[in-house]
Amino acid sequence: MKKIITTLSVIIACACFLGTSASALNFTSAEFLGIIETGEPASIANEVGYVNTLLAQASPSGPTTISGHNYTRSSNPDLGSGSVSDTDAVKDESGGVSVPAGYEYLLAKYDGPNAGDVLWYLGGAAATIPANSFGLWVNRGGTGYGISHFTVFNPGDNHVPDGGMPLVMLGTALTGLGVVRRFVKR
C-alpha cells in the first residue's frame, strides 16, 4: 500500500509540475484572426487602430474597406474580442519570427506592393510566426512577402495576468513531493 501511495504521489506531483510549463504555438487557422491589406503602419498607435478595427468586425466578414485598408476577418468567432491599447504593446523590428510568451495578440507586418498585416490570437503562448506570407496571400509572381516586423499586444485595461493557477499547481506538486518524502522515510 505504501508503495502505491508513493507512486501515485510522484505521478501527481510530476503532472502538476509539468502542467505549468510553457508551450509554443504552431500557427494554424485556429489562431488566425484576419488580414489588413495595404496596411502601412507608421506607429504603434496605427497598429492599435488596425487591430481594434479588425477585432470589432463580425466573424467572418470582409474584405471591408475602411480608410483605404481592406479588413478581412476570419471565421474564428470565439477569439479576438475586446480591444488593445499601446500600453502593453511591444514592437520587434528585427525581422525575427520568434514571439515571446505573455501576449494575447500578434500583428505581423509583411512587406511588398499592396502587402499588409496579419493578426493572430496567441492566448499568452510563445510562438514562431511564418517568415513569409505565402499561404496567406501572394504577389503577382506567385510568391509571398517577407516579414518586416511584428507587434504583440495585450487587451486594454482589463488584462489580468494569470499568476494564480500556476502557483496553485506548483504548491500542489511540492505538497505531493512532501507527502512522498514522508511516506518513504517511514
The domain limits of the chain are: 2-20+164-185, 24-153
Average pLDDT, the chain: 73
For residue 8, what pLDDT is reported? 34
Q: Which tens digit of pLDDT belongs to each residue from 150-177?
A: 999 987 644 344 444 454 455 566 666 6
pTM of the model: 0.67
Range list of β-strands (E), 30-179:
32-37, 61-66, 69-73, 90-92, 98-99, 105-110, 116-121, 126-128, 147-153
Query: Which amino acid belongs to residue 165?
Result: M
- Mean pLDDT of residues grouped by 10 in the chain (186 residues)? 41 37 48 82 86 90 90 80 83 86 90 80 88 77 84 67 48 63 68
